[in-house]
Structure 1
Amino acid sequence: MDNLDLIQQALPYLLEGTVVTIELTFWSLLIGIVIGLPLAFGQVYGNKALKFVIAIYERLARSIPLLVMLLLLNYGLPRLGLRIPVFRAAVIGIGLRSAAYQSQIYRGAIQSVGGSQLKAALSLGMSRFKAFFYIIAPQAIRIAIPPVANESAIVLKDTSLAFTIGVVELLRQGEYYIATSNKPMVIYLTVAFIYFVLTTLVNGGLSLFERKYQIPGIGIEGGHSDAY
């Protein structure tokens, strides 16, 4: 069997794993957004106690290797009487780690929007929440798109570690096929190419979104208001 025939036979199985990889990436990024945005808001506008708690979470999430986090969730939690499916454990582990990084992205984006805009909105009678929601957040989201694109690509590649706890994603499917074909280089190169295509699509799609909704001159003042 030549290499092309091997790739053709392996491709359906690899694509099945690719679907799982995409699902892992989507749900992990969603957790990162849902947790990361409130963390960023707390970092910018919270009191000292809240900022301290958030700083501890971020330091832990960013310091512990992702592989260790996945192993703790998959093998440590059952010892405490809490068993969760391996796919869910992988999503939680990757998502919690991504939330720590995304919170820094959103924090920087919020602080890069001119503080005078928030003061002006408050002076016009808007509530603090409405001022943030209608004035600051739309600009901050646009500023955050490029670093979020990078974080999305990182999360996509990090999903390959999920195979260590038994998630049958792209790399695990490749390992299965290597065991039957005994041609690891061909399969690994095919897996690498699929990852390359996925990351290119993610970065390209977000870049198009950025160019479409970019506002010239946004955030040139810098800093954030102390009005909160």
Structure 2
Amino acid sequence: MDIARWTAALPASIYLVTATNIAGIEIWRRWWTAPFVADAACWLDAQASSDDLISARPWSTAHILLRGLRPEGYAHLAAEHRVAAAVADGAGLIEVWITLADRPVGARVAARVAAELAARSGGDLLTTDARSVGHLPGLPHAASADGPGGAPAFTRLLAASRGPDPRAAAIAIEATAALGCALVLSPPIQLIRFRDRRRKQRSLLSPARPLRTEAQRGRR
């Protein structure tokens, strides 16, 4: 499946998955592992079919996202760089993921490399930071109507290749020197586990409970 190939090409401990309605308002966000994202494909497809736009990103600055590339810009980029994943967004544009390193790099370094590559390939310069999300492949794009009979078109995985791009990694090293920061983050960020009031182990993958106010805590 496209989603499984996408996560395999963009390895990370955890992935951010979000849903946005037709008005551009985020409805929900989840942090899932790669197997969970793949297993939830049918449910995500149903969510996307109900006019919600499903987006995602590996929760790691080892991978950068270039959005809004036209086919000629994508062809130019792919001729010079190793593309980790390329996704046709169903509206005529292409999103490209490029891997900088085997481990997370500094967020400022990742953003600088993404901005430089986006400028070279005609991508969107406003979505190059580490918080930007892209389309999950293989799902309907609710905002498009390019399918048969005016139905939403599907996002498609155009390419998938695991491993860092040497040229982008070289740009990252230059950016590190210019910014005066470390290239690779160390130690790696670990998922934090915690206990709830009933002393049961839960993880950050579980839905969080609403925070109580001081007044609510005082009524106990």
TM bucket normalised to smaller? under 0.3
Higher helix proportion: 1
Between structure 1 and structure 2, the one with the greater Rg is 1
TM-score using structure 2 length:
0.23
Greater fraction strand: 2
Which of structures 1 and 2 has the larger relative contact order (alpha carbons within 8 angstroms, sep 6+)? 1
